[in-house]
Amino acid sequence: MFAAQTLPVTTCRGGALYGNRSYTIRMKPEFYLGNAERSEALLVKTGPMTDLRQIRVRDQDGKTFTDIKYYVGEHVQKSRTTAFNVWHCVEVLLGEEWESGSRFYTLTQPSADAPFEPPIPESEPLPPLDKKLYTKLRYRVRISPKSAGEPWYEHASKDGEISVANHNELYRTEVRSGGKYYATLWGWLMDDTMIYWRAGIYRGDNGHMIEECPWKHIDVLVGREWVDGDVFCEFRQQICSEMFK
């Protein structure tokens, strides 16, 4: 038989609520372009309950990070911040309430010697966002894994090249994928070359309307980073409006 091991226990400064093994975290809205729920991730402490240097964070895209700064660097909206305290950019779900990452960090520290403020990480400012990347006419696109439950997903061609109209007409698109040409995003998603766009509405060859926005079902490759389609639309409109006034 194995003898039970007694491990030294160090309580968190904020009490038992801060001594759990895992938590849901997300980006603060002011540092994330789009719905903050899309940035929600699971944070797991891999070391002592008071040590937030030993963690693992897994996001909704299946990416795993071993430091909070890597998670933030992946999800932060670079145009909204430069040098920063990474814990200040996130929120942590405690019970049913979201708490600032800075406060969570402080109250997770050992009760006897917790710092009043989390340390500023030694890192260089994030590189400025290259706005020109959002003004191109063609992009590589893929169907987002989060749409795997859609009835058309199994038979859809999963990647292609999209041609985009100006920033105010993002519904006017063309997609080439698998040797086929589609006049609309919905046509590509449903593998139906007869779906067209007219007067702000997608219609099939029998005239039926498709009111749901297709951009939420795709990812767009911007530079070397895959960006949610709806976030890409919002950012492209914002940047192009500023650049081409």
CB 227 within 8 A of CB 162: no
Would you place residue 41 in the very low, low, confident or very high pLDDT band (cuts 50, 70, 90)? very high
143 in the same domain as 95: no
Classify residue 113: in a domain, yes or no: no
214's tokens: 């297709």
238 in the same domain as 139: yes
DSSP state of 89: G
Range of the domain at 72: 16-108
* Whole-structure pTM value: 0.50
20 in the same domain as 91: yes
100's tokens: 């600032």
Classify residue 223: in a domain, yes or no: yes
Residue 17 CA to residue 48 CA, distance in Å, equals: 15
Q: First vs last Cα of the chain: how many Å apart?
A: 76
103 in the same domain as 41: yes
> For the chain, what percent of residues have pLDDT higher than 90?
14
* pLDDT recorded at residue 91: 94
Classify residue 100: in a domain, yes or no: yes
Contact partners, residue 3, CB within 8 Å, separation at least 6: none
174-214 pLDDT, tens digit per residue, is 899 988 888 888 888 888 877 766 544 555 555 555 656 78
* pLDDT recorded at residue 232: 81
Specify the 3-state DSSP secondary structure of 94. strand
101 in the same domain as 63: yes
Least confident range of 101-105, 120-124, 128-132, 208-212: 120-124
Of 27, 17, 50, which is closest to residue 101 (Cα–Cα)?
27
Of 60, 233, 217, 231, which is closest to residue 148 (Cα–Cα)?
217
33's tokens: 């372009």
Classify residue 10: in a domain, yes or no: no
Least confident range of 9-13, 99-103, 121-125, 226-230: 121-125
Would you place residue 140 in the very low, low, confident or very high pLDDT band (cuts 50, 70, 90)? very high
> For the chain, what percent of residues have pLDDT higher than 70?
75
Mean pLDDT of the chain: 77
53 in the same domain as 100: yes
Least confident range of 91-105, 172-186, 221-235: 221-235
Highest-confidence segment of 42-51, 78-87, 201-210: 42-51
The label of the residue with tokens 């060859």 reads: 205
137 in the same domain as 96: no
C-alpha distances (whole Å) from 153 to each of 133, 139, 144, 236 are 28, 21, 10, 26
168 in the same domain as 75: no
173 in the same domain as 103: no
**Rounded to 10 degrees, what is the CA torsion of 231, 237, 240, 242?**
-100
43 in the same domain as 98: yes
Would you place residue 35 in the very low, low, confident or very high pLDDT band (cuts 50, 70, 90)? confident
100 in the same domain as 139: no
CB 28 within 8 A of CB 36: yes
* pLDDT recorded at residue 124: 46
* pLDDT recorded at residue 126: 47
Q: Which residues pair with 225 in a beta bridge?
A: 222
Query: Which of the listed residues 75, 108, 141 is the one where a domain comes to its end?
Result: 108
112's tokens: 């006897």
Number of domains in the chain: 2
Specify the 3-state DSSP secondary structure of 78. helix
Query: Which of the listed residues 43, 77, 108 is the one where a domain comes to its end?
Result: 108
* pLDDT recorded at residue 113: 53
56 in the same domain as 139: no
What average pLDDT does range 18-47 have in this prediction?
86
Least confident range of 46-55, 119-128, 165-174, 213-222: 119-128
